Amino acid sequence: MKNRFDLLVFDWDGTLFDSIPFIVDCLQGAARDCGLPVPSDTAARGVIGLSLDQAMLALFPVVGSGRRADLIEAYRRFYERRPACPQDLFHGVAAMLEQLKRAGYRLAVASGKTSTQLTKAIAATGTAGWFDALRGPDQTASKPDPLMLQEIMADLGSAPERTLMIGDSVHDLQMAANARVEAVAVTCGANSRAQLMAFNPLHCLQQTRELAAILV
């Protein structure tokens, strides 16, 4: 894998940032606040990586757009009660990002968060200096549409065959496949190894920090 890629595109939640249980709690809390059936942990984990609108649509397909807006607002209230901090990064992620940057890779984030939420989280974790591009679904299409990844590649001048997507969800890997980009899966987030392996990633790692060992 060394020298095969120039651009590494990371998902944020569940890949770099240890937030999956908290996001599940927020989705369930939003449902309770809006008087709707509370999704199971498995169902809530299954929509992580999508835009909030797409996530709520998947969890509550018969709910109208007005109720989805209420759900999104309730979710954001729950989520904003817990500010991000550097300790929320998975162990070893900061050192990994620094090592990859020193090795000459360009780094980017393709997230299900809005651009404002993503920028705030990256600033709070002290990782802003490592990333060359950021994208959220409010700026482009939600995963698994390939547009988010295609726009990052266009901005940074990287060809699909020189780009690697790293993510913890089936939505990340489906986006990579749709963009004809290779992917590495990590099992520290939303989906199981079996679910991720269905997309034939180059590797399936337990922790994102293991990526440095195969790229540097």
Mean pLDDT on 53-60: 92
For 104-138, how does the pLDDT look when each residue is reduced to its tens digit (9 = 90+)? 999 999 999 889 989 999 999 999 999 999 999 99
Is 190 in contact with 14 (CB distance < 8 Å)?
A: yes
For 146-185, how does the pLDDT look when each residue is reduced to its tens digit (9 = 90+)? 999 999 999 999 999 999 999 999 999 999 999 999 999 9
| Type of residue at 56 | M
Its CATH class, for the domain covering 20-79, is mainly alpha
Q: What angle do CA 197, 108, 125 make, to 5 degrees?
A: 100
* Second CATH level (architecture) for the domain 7-17+85-215: 3-Layer(aba) Sandwich (3.40)
In this prediction, residue 2 has a pLDDT band, given cuts at 50, 70 and 90, of confident
Domain ranges of the chain: 7-17+85-215, 20-79
For 21-54, how does the pLDDT look when each residue is reduced to its tens digit (9 = 90+)? 899 999 999 999 999 999 999 999 989 888 889 9
- Compute the 3-state secondary structure of the chain and give helix, strand, coil in percent, each to the nearest 5: 50, 15, 40
Q: Determine the angle formed by the axes of helices 20-33 and 52-59, rounding to 10 degrees.
A: 60
> What is the rounded distance in angstroms from the CA atom of residue 152 to the CA atom of residue 20?
24
> Is the pTM here over 0.85, yes or no?
yes
In this prediction, residue 58 has a pLDDT band, given cuts at 50, 70 and 90, of very high
For 72-111, how does the pLDDT look when each residue is reduced to its tens digit (9 = 90+)? 999 999 988 888 889 999 999 999 999 999 999 999 999 9
